[in-house]
């Protein structure tokens, strides 16, 4: 098939847009391994700035990873059952709860953080702990987990699956864990992808909630750009990409369709 002018015009526009996005990222990463950013690559390449970033901000980087994992665990344990209730028992009360659940997404992060500070800021030890930031991250990311899982649960015939499993003698929790959850796994993985990436990259809310001892990766990144050399800030950005990109690729591969799902008949065969 002969390709016309419009195809090549669209292709050229796509390439230009990709370059517009990718080139600044490459330049920033390159600056993180350049001896002197003002002289450019001609000044030589070095890993000095990366080691300095690790020495200065290792605790912040590790804390962000820990918060992301903890946030993922909490949102999964809370979000999957919540999504099940919202889909399985649709009524006025659950619809109202769903709207309330999505409020943290509509409210600016600074406003949400301010509300947490006003309500719980008086508890000294709690205010200065990483759990305080975790609560903010959970409130912000939980709607994404619930919506992702609920979308998948709404698309499958959950009532038929449960009735089939119940006719085989499976109790509620057995049905939920061995029939519903495996079939909802694409939504859980998609929600996990959003939760982890949002938690690691969240700045506005975390900036208000953090203390000098609970500084996270985005807050440390802003601090490095404001008070350090540009090379250190760029090296910090490079470390951020090195941490987040493999995680994104791995979770996207896990979220691909084609995973084997459990049905009531398979449950009978397992038993």
State the CATH number of the domain containing residue 131.
1.10.3720.10
Write down the pTM of the prediction: 0.79
Q: What is the pLDDT of residues 41-85, one digit of tens each?
A: 778 888 888 888 888 888 888 898 899 999 999 999 999 999 888
Residues 18-35: what's their mean pLDDT? 83
Domain membership flag for residue 110: yes
Give the chain's length. 271
Domain membership flag for residue 115: yes
- For residue 262, pLDDT over 80 is answered with no
Domain membership flag for residue 150: yes
Domain membership flag for residue 182: yes
Specify the 3-state DSSP secondary structure of 34. strand
Contact 134, 234 (CB under 8 A): no
Candidates 163, 157, 144, 165; CA nearest to 184 is 157
Q: What is the pLDDT of residues 87-126, one digit of tens each?
A: 888 888 878 887 888 888 788 888 888 888 888 877 778 8
Q: How many structural domains does the chain have? A: 1
Domain membership flag for residue 41: no
Q: Residue 210: what pLDDT?
A: 85
Mean pLDDT over each residue of the chain, to the nearest integer: 81
- For residue 259, pLDDT over 50 is answered with no
Handedness of CA 48, 49, 50, 55 (dihedral sign): positive
Domain membership flag for residue 34: no
Range(s) of the domain holding residue 252: 57-270
Residues 246-266: what's their mean pLDDT? 59
Domain membership flag for residue 121: yes
Residues 18-26: what's their mean pLDDT? 84
Domain membership flag for residue 216: yes
Q: Residue 56: what pLDDT?
A: 83
Q: Which two tokens stand for residue 72?
A: 């993922």
Q: Residue 67: what pLDDT?
A: 92
Q: Residue 264: what pLDDT?
A: 46
Q: Residue 154: what pLDDT?
A: 85
Contact 115, 48 (CB under 8 A): no
Q: What is the pLDDT of residues 174-214, one digit of tens each?
A: 888 888 888 888 888 888 888 988 888 888 888 888 888 88
Q: What is the pLDDT of residues 225-242, one digit of tens each?
A: 777 677 787 888 888 888
Q: Residue 77: what pLDDT?
A: 94
Q: Residue 252: what pLDDT?
A: 66
Of 66-80, 147-161, 162-176, which has the strongest mean pLDDT?
66-80
């Amino acid at each position: 098939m002969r390709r016309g002018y419009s195809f090549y015009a669209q292709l050229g526009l796509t390439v230009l847009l990709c370059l517009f996005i990718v080139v600044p990222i490459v330049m920033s990463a390159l600056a993180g391994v350049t001896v002197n950013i003002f002289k450019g690559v001609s000044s030589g390449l070095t890993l000095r700035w990366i080691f300095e970033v690790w020495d200065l901000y290792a605790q912040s980087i590790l804390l962000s990873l820990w918060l992301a994992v903890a946030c993922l665990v909490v949102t999964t344990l809370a979000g999957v059952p919540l999504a099940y209730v919202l889909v399985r028992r649709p009524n006025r009360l659950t619809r109202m709860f769903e709207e309330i659940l999505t409020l943290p997404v509509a409210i600016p992060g600074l406003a949400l953080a301010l509300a947490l500070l006003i309500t719980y800021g008086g508890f000294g030890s709690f205010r200065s702990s990483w759990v305080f930031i975790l609560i903010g991250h959970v409130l912000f990311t939980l709607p994404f987990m619930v919506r992702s899982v609920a979308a998948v649960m709404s698309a499958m015939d959950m009532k038929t699956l449960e009735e089939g499993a119940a006719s085989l003698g499976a109790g509620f929790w057995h049905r939920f864990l061995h029939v519903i959850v495996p079939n909802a796994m694409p939504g859980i993985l998609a929600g996990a992808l959003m939760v982890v990436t949002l938690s690691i990259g969240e700045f506005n809310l975390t900036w208000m909630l953090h203390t000098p001892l609970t500084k996270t990766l985005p807050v440390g990144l802003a601090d490095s750009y404001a008070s350090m050399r540009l090379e250190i800030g760029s090296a910090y950005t490079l470390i951020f990409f090195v941490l987040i990109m493999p995680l994104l690729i791995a979770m996207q591969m896990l979220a691909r369709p084609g995973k084997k799902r459990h049905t009531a008949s398979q449950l009978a065969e397992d038993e």
